[in-house]
């Protein structure tokens, strides 16, 4: 069972319906428990989200560090970082290093809303091996084309870090997808990204249920 965390910051039904389309059994929960995998959706303010996550913060970190497959969506990606300009003084989960920042108006309309391309980054193994004539991408990208379009709605962005495996540009390059061991997170909304978004969800489910 995949636990979809309800902390008042996500369109839960859309996520559950999308998971159902790819054959995943989900349950909307307010406590972590012992699920097979965790999805943390998120729409809204970084500070509010961290406040609402406070009662389960340590349980969530323990589950992630214990190896439970995790998928963060939109704000669910940003809270993995240490902090955000959206809520000065509020600590994120701190699983990834760095701070989320607000798009500058020079980049375009804020929020960044609509379809945009995601450029895929090969795995480190592919970078180290010269035997392969084509790049090897992380399993969450199985069946996903490089520079595929996904649907975004956000005013703040996460920096490109070592764990970034998908990059989008909106005046500046930012993390569209990150991966760290059992952790995956997408800035875009896979549940609103058509067939490509469902592929990402399906790939996560397949990895989580191995």
Report, as residue numbers or ranges, the catalytic residues. Answer: 74, 189, 191
From CA 157, how far away is CA 170, in angstroms rounded?
10
Beta strands (DSSP E) in 74-209 are 83-84, 99-102, 112-120, 148-154, 156-157, 164-169, 173-180, 183-186
Euclidean distance between CA atoms 60 and 56, whole angstroms: 6
Q: Which residues contact 48 (CB under 8 A, 6 or more apart)?
A: 8, 9, 87
Query: What six digits make up the tokens of 129?
Result: 């091996």
For residues 112 and 188, give the distance between their C-alpha atoms in angstroms, rounded to a whole number: 10
Among residues 154, 181, 19, 39, the alpha carbon closest in space to that of 96 is found at: 181
């Amino acid at each position: 069972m995949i636990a979809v965390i309800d902390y008042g910051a996500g369109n839960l039904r859309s996520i559950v319906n999308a998971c159902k389309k790819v054959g995943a059994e989900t349950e909307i929960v307010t406590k972590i428990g012992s699920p097979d995998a965790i999805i943390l959706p998120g729409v809204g303010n970084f500070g509010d989200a961290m406040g609402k996550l406070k009662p389960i913060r340590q349980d969530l970190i323990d589950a992630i560090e214990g190896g439970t497959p995790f998928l963060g969506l939109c704000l669910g990606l940003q809270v993995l970082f240490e902090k955000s300009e959206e809520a000065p003084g509020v600590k994120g989960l701190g699983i990834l290093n760095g701070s989320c920042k607000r798009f500058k108006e020079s980049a375009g309309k804020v929020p960044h809303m609509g379809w945009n391309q995601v450029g895929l980054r090969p795995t480190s193994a592919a970078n180290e091996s010269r035997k392969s004539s084509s790049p090897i991408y992380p399993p969450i990208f199985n069946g996903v084309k490089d520079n595929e379009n996904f649907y975004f709605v956000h005013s703040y962005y996460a920096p490109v870090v070592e764990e970034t495996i998908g990059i989008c540009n909106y005046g500046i390059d930012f993390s569209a997808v990150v991966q760290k061991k059992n952790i995956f997170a997408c800035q875009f909304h896979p549940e609103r990204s058509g067939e490509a978004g469902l592929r990402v969800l399906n790939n996560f489910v397949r990895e989580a249920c191995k």
